[in-house]
Structure 1
Amino acid sequence: MRDWQPFLGLPLWVWLFIFPTILAVFCLIYRDPAERLLRPVWRVLDRIYLGAGVAASCFMVTILLLIVAQMIMRWSSLTFPGATEYAGYAMAATSFLALAHALTRGAHIRVSIFLNMNKFLGFWLDALAMWIAAVTATYFARYAIKTNIMSEMLNDRTQGTDFVPEWLLSFFAMFANSPSKWGQIWAETGSDWVYTPVWLPQLPMSIGTVLLAVAIWDYLTRLLVHRESSIISEAVE
């Protein structure tokens, strides 16, 4: 597998880094047209970030339920196979799915000592920091997806005692195949439980890192259009 294989005739790094940077420059130079063009996109993305935050909170509640279930099983002298692994998967999903939502709420640590020196310098330093963060997050997201692909290619399975139903794997397999193959996928699906493929708990990591990269590019464009950061920490009293 080549690292930066072409996509629609252009290297992948052009789509991931050059085009978003060009969009950022467009927002810097043509503020009003960029705002009219991107405002509907911003509204949709805000809902996606919120949805990811809600999903992260659901996984956090899942951790609590797994812990309570494990306690009850122990009191009943029963076993809960894979409970520790399931809780670990839920914790990873909570952490990664919450990244973009936490960014939009100002929950990430941001060192702003130099940004407060004066408004002009603060704007350019903030824009530069956001651009570097966007490039870094995009690089991370790309390799998170590659990790998913490699795990599926190698058919890597968990080493714990956790299992998943085959129909769940078939459900996710639908998204990686054309609709013409869906009938065959479900025809070959049994009712057994199988060892968890590693790509399944890795999915929230890939989704979360992609959303984080999109969110940073998104808020970079908002910064360049509005000339002030849209990331505002929520006050806690």
Structure 2
Amino acid sequence: MRDWPDLMGLPLWGWLFVLPMVLVLLCAWRPASLRRLLTPVWAVLDRLYLLGGGLSAVFMVLILVIIVFQMIARWSGLPFPGSTEFAGYAMAATSFFALAYALNRGSHIRVSIFLNLNPFTHRWLDFFATLTAAIVATYFARYAVRTNIFSKLLNDRTQGQDMVPEGLLSALAMFVTPPGQWGALWAETGSDWVFTPIWVPQLPMSIGTILLAVALWDNLTRMAATGISRIRSEAVE
């Protein structure tokens, strides 16, 4: 963890691993108090997971729209450069935005044979499995964000034919630019189309993995405070 920088006087791994684990232990120690304190936070997080699922559905519909336009372009003989790449980006966004929402709906594959032995093994194995998944997902999220940052620093561009307007890149850059610099940002923005920077399609990966890591730590706190897993069991009819 030598490449994990300090943030506000605390190593990044402390923010990502130690503090969430401390919160989980506090929930196990004082469940009633922490339930009252965290209930509003849980409600906000549930809306975030639902928003991620909604975005996933939007990008799934976008895949259909792109395919339809590909068919129309082929029939009419009109060019539609980059359509395959855009469909791939939408497919990746569909998968990553849905991770947290699908987790809480029991849509992820879970091997539950040992969980069903008895209530004791169910509770503790479920807790340690969720803890392991939270740690792995947090590592994944951290390095997904790091990959996103490196792609931006290297100005890595697509090798396909897909192009996007510069205005779209400036609109996305506003989220990481101080408001006082927005005027200069748009003053330097042209009207040309440029090859897609790799960090743009990587954004859903970073956001989706962050949501997944948050959802897993969230499930741990709820499990410690209520004794019930937030993840719904899969039902096959």
Shorter-normalised TM-score: what interval? Answer: over 0.9
Q: CA offset at residue 234 of structure 1?
A: 5.9
Please list the CA deviations of residues 33-56 of structure 1 after superposition, one character each: whole Å capped at 9, or x if unmatched: 111111101100001100110000
Shift of 1:236: 5.7
Matched with 1:95 is: 95
Structure 2 residue aligned with 1:183: 183
The one-character-per-residue Cα deviations of 1:130-159 (angstroms, maximum 9, x if unpaired) are 111101000000000000000000000001
Structure 1 stretches (4+) deviating beyond 6 angstroms?
none
| Displacement of 1:233 | 3.5
Q: TM-score, normalised by structure 2?
A: 0.97
Query: Could you say which residue in structure 2 is the equivalent of 1:161?
Result: 161
For residues 181 and 187 of structure 2, what CA distance do their matches in structure 1 show?
10
Give CA-to-partner distance per residue, 1:4-60, whole Å, 9 cap, x none: 000001110000000000101111111101111111011000011001100000000
The percentage of counterpart residues that share the same residue type is 64
1:116-127 equivalent positions in 2, closer than 5 A = 116-127=116-127
Q: Which amino acid aligns with 2:7?
A: F
Q: Which residue does 2:85 correspond to in 1?
A: 85
Deviations 1:183-211 (A, max 9, x none): 00011111111110000000000000000
The 3-state SS of whatever aligns with 1:106 is coil
Aligned equivalents of 1:228, 1:56: Cα separation in 2? 27
SS of the equivalent of 1:175 reads: helix
**Greater alpha carbon shift after TM alignment, 111-120 vs 182-191:** 111-120
TM-score normalised by length of structure 1: 0.97
Instruction: Give 2:40's aligned residue.
Output: 40
Q: What's the secondary structure of 2:194's corresponding residue?
A: strand
Paired residues in the alignment total: 236
Kindly provide the amino acid, as one letter, of the partner of residue 53 in structure 2.
G
**Match for residue 197 of structure 1?**
197
Match of 1:7 in 2: 7
- 5+ long unaligned stretches in structure 1: none
Give the match for residue 139 of structure 1. 139
